[in-house]
Amino acid sequence: MPEKYKVKDISLADRGKLAVEWAEQNMPVLRLIRERFQKEKPLKGVRIAACMHVTKETAVLMLTLRDGGAEIALAASNPLSTQDHVAAYLAKEGIHVYAWRGMSEKDYFAAIASAASMGPDVTMDDGADLTVMLHKVALGEARGIDYEIGSKVLSSSIVEKIRGGTEETTTGVIRLKALQKEGKLLYPVFAVNDSLTKFMFDNRFGTGQSSIDGILRATNILLAGKNVVVAGYGWVGRGIAWRARGMGARVTVVEVDPVRALEAYYEGFYVTDMSSAAETGDVFITATGNTDVIRAEHLLKMRDGAILANAGHFNVEISVRDLERIAVGSRDINENVREYRLPNGRKVYLIGEGRLVNLAAAEGHPSEVMDLSFANQALAVETIVKKWEKLDKKVYKLPRSIDNRVALLKLKALGVRLERLTEEQKKYLESWSG
Ligand code: NAD
Ligand code: SAH
Residue ranges per domain, the chain?
10-198+365-414, 205-360
Q: Give the Cα separation of 77 and 50 in Å (integer).
A: 9
**Residue 307: band (very low, low, confident or very high) from pLDDT cuts 50, 70, 90:** very high
Give me the mean pLDDT over the 148-176 stretch: 97
Give me the mean pLDDT over the 203-227 stretch: 98
Q: Which of 177, 155, 256, 169 has the alpha carbon at shortest distance from 207? A: 169
| Residue 234 annotated as binding site | yes
**Residue 297: band (very low, low, confident or very high) from pLDDT cuts 50, 70, 90:** very high
Give me the mean pLDDT over the 200-225 stretch: 98
Q: Give the Cα separation of 305 and 423 in Å (integer).
A: 62
Tell me the CA–centroid distance for residue 206 and ligand 2, in Å: 10
Residue 40 corresponds to which amino acid?
Answer: E
* For residue 57, pLDDT beyond 90: yes
Tell me the CA–centroid distance for residue 91 and ligand 2, in Å: 21
Tell me the CA–centroid distance for residue 110 and ligand 2, in Å: 20
Q: Check if 10-198+365-414 and 205-360 are the same fold.
A: yes
Q: Give the position, in ligand 2's atom list, of the atom nearest the Cα of 55.
A: 23
Instruction: Kindly state if the Cβ of 317 falls inside 6 Å of ligand 2.
Output: no
Q: Give the Cα separation of 157 and 341 in Å (integer).
A: 50
pLDDT at 377: 98
Q: What is the CA radius of gyration of the chain?
A: 22
Provide the CATH number for the domain formed by 10-198+365-414 in this structure: 3.40.50.1480
For residue range 178-191, list pLDDT tens digits in order: 999 999 999 999 99
For residue range 339-364, list pLDDT tens digits in order: 999 999 999 999 999 999 999 999 99
Average pLDDT, the chain: 97
* For residue 403, pLDDT beyond 80: yes
pLDDT at 1: 63
Tell me the CA–centroid distance for residue 399 and ligand 1, in Å: 24
Ligand 1, atom 42: closest residue by C-alpha: 203
Instruction: Kindly state if the Cβ of 354 falls inside 6 Å of ligand 2.
Output: no
Class of the CATH domain delimited by 205-360: alpha beta
Of the chain, the percentage scoring pLDDT greater than 90 comes to 98
Tell me the CA–centroid distance for residue 346 and ligand 2, in Å: 33
Instruction: Kindly state if the Cβ of 53 falls inside 6 Å of ligand 2.
Output: yes
> Which of the listed residues 359, 368, 371 should we mutate to test ligand 2's pocket, taking the one with most ligand atoms within 8 A of CB?
359
Give me the mean pLDDT over the 70-91 stretch: 98
| Residue 311 annotated as binding site | yes
Q: Give the position, in ligand 1's atom list, of the atom nearest the Cα of 313.
A: 32
Q: Which ligand is nearest to the CA of 284?
A: 1
> Which of the listed residues 22, 129, 169 should we mutate to test ligand 2's pocket, taking the one with most ligand atoms within 8 A of CB?
169
pLDDT at 395: 98
Give me the mean pLDDT over the 388-405 stretch: 97
Tell me the CA–centroid distance for residue 58 and ligand 2, in Å: 10
* For residue 2, pLDDT beyond 80: no
**Residue 280: band (very low, low, confident or very high) from pLDDT cuts 50, 70, 90:** very high
